[in-house]
Structures are given as C-alpha cells and as structure tokens.
Chains A and B, each alone.
Chain A
Amino acid sequence: MADDVLFEFLHMEMVSHIYKDQASRGEMEKDRATCVSTLEGMGFRVGQGLIERFTKDSPSFKDDLDVMKFICKDFWINVFRKQIDNLRTNHQGTYVLQDNKFALLTQFSNGKQYLEEAPKYLAYSCGLVRGALSNLGMDCVVTAEVSLMPSCESLLSSSSSSFIIYHHTTPNITDTTEMF
C-alpha cells in the first residue's frame, strides 16, 4: 500500500516549502501565523472538493451529529485510512474528535520529542475538516492539540458551533501545544 506514503511525502514537502520562505525573510512571529493560515487555506479548498466527491452517492444528512459521524467514519477513512477513535460532544455545538494515531504524525516520535513542530503539520488537516464542514453547511472553527490530557479549551467564534480535534501520538506526552 504505497499510496498513503505519497501524500505523506507531499505534505511534508508542502510544509517545509511554506516555512522555507518564511525563514529567509527573517521576521518570526507574524510570518508564522501566515504560514499556518496558508496551509489551512489549502486544506480548506481541498476539503470542499473532497466532500463533493465523497457525498455524491450518499443520502442527505439528518442533523449535525449525522454530519460529524460521517466525518469521523467515511471521510477519515477515505483520507487517512482509519476511523476517528473517539467522538465526544456537549450537544451544544462543540465536538471533540480524538485520533490516537494520527497518520501524518506517526513518523515523528513516540514521546515528547518534536512536540513544538507538530502544529505545523496539523494546519492542513484542520483546514481539510473546516472545508468539508463548510461545504456541508456547518461553519465552525477547528483547532487541534497534541497532548495527553486534553483540557477543554474551546475557541468559540461568532458562528454557532466550534470543533476541537485532538491528535495523540502516544500516551507519554504531557505538555500541550496550542495551534490557533
């Protein structure tokens, strides 16, 4: 199954390409935010197109929970070859998706090493989910955290719901790294 690897390599190269321009210009903080939003924007557009293709044959969704279940199962399987491990909700518009072995992060480390680099590699996937949801009619804010004990920090935007996606690489990480 060499096909998964193709996207992983492309993704790694995308991230390093975007950050390479930023490093040459020198200014740290402001450009870092633009890099993240560039990656997120790319993911957004791809998510919109993908969802059009994936939902071509399936019937309409009954409600938001149905949409989230679709994202957790079919969408995640099609993109990352596995399902989301855990879905939690407070039934008021906040959803937490937990993936214990996120496909784009498995090659990094099995512990705390490289934790601070992880957010760059999550930006694209956040955009992907946000694009998918926006095309299905749910406007939301997607944030990702790499940690062990997820503390529920929800970023409530002006739209009605917000989603938090947690990606764990292993049970040993105790620091939290925030994305947005």
Chain B
Amino acid sequence: MAVCIAVIAKENYPLYIRSVPIQNELKFHYTVHTSLDVVEEKISAVGKAMADQRELYLGLLYPTEDYKVYGYVTNSKVKFVIVVDSSNTSLRDNEIRSMFRKLHNSFTDVMCNPFYNPGDTIQSKAFDSMVTAMMVQAS
C-alpha cells in the first residue's frame, strides 16, 4: 500500500501527485522531487551500458529512514514514483511491479482520452479512483 503516488511528465513537472497523510504533503513532494535525480541517473546509466533489454521498471530508487521510493519510466519518458512506508516490509517486488503496471494502464487510458491535453494535470476520476485503491487507507 503506497503512501504517495506521483506521475511526472517528460519535462519533469508533476502531472499528478497524491499522498495519504495530508498534513505531511510537502515532505512527500520534496521526496518525489529528489528521487527524480536518481531516476535520471538510472535512465542515462542504462543507456551507456547498452543492455539488451532495458526494462521500464527501475526498482528501488533509494530508501530513507521512514520510506522507500520506487520508480518506473515509460517509453514516452513519463515517470511514475511510488513512496511506500518502510515499516510495511511485506510488500514484495512483484506487488510493486503490478502497481506500476496498473498505473501505466490507467495512464495510457488517460492519454487516449480526447478531452485530455498532454501536459495538463490529470483530472480523470477513473485515474483518481485507481490510485485511491492503491493507497493506504487513512485512519
């Protein structure tokens, strides 16, 4: 269960960012912002290594004392960042991957929506409800 989910555009501004404990929202914004550097590093590093299969899933970007940050980049250079609570150690890699998969599918649907202009913030209710389902329930 994620604590914060963010979708960042190719030009590195947020298209969609949502976190669960509303009072600490600014801290999550900051965490996501710093994780962008790590994402850039991973993208350019893979390019130089000339790997055969470049995966879209980037894996654990960096752990902080309370949270772990995971990243995923699409072929159109849109980045998804998920922040999860470190205390929730039962979350396995597969589950994170499936969360990213769902995010990517919903994002593709948003992209294909004729009422959505690429570059705007995401306002789709369907996307919202999908993200809510993935986040921790606020107590």
Contacts and interface: CB of A to CB of B under 8 A. Distances in A.
B47 A62 contact: yes
B76 A52 contact: yes
B74 interface: yes
A53 interface: yes
Interface string B78-108: 0000000000000000000000000011011
A49 B112 CA distance: 5
B111 A62 contact: no
Given A49-B111, A52-B112, A55-B75, A60 B104 contact: no
A22 interface: no
- Contact-residue size bin, chain B (C-beta under 8 Å from the other chain): 20 to 34
A136 interface: yes
A56 B105 contact: yes
Contacts of A52: 74, 76, 107-108, 111-112
Interface string B54-90: 1110000000000000000111110000000000000
B50 interface: yes
Contact of A137 (B10, B105, B111): B10
Contacts, number: 48
Contacts of B77: 137
A59 interface: yes
A94 interface: no
Contacts of A143: none
Contacts of A53: 108, 111-112
- Contact-residue size bin, chain A (C-beta under 8 Å from the other chain): 10 to 19
Interface in B11-56: 46-47, 50, 53-56
A48 B108 CA distance: 10
A180 interface: no
A108 interface: no
Contacts of B112: 49-50, 52-53
Nearest to A48: B118
A58 B75 contact: yes
B104 to A, nearest CB: 6
A133 to B, nearest CB: 11
Given A48-B111, A52-B107, A62-B47, A135 B76 contact: yes
A59 B108 contact: no
11 contacts: A45-B118, A49-B111, A51-B76, A53-B108, A53-B112, A59-B56, A60-B46, A60-B54, A60-B73, A60-B75, A135-B118
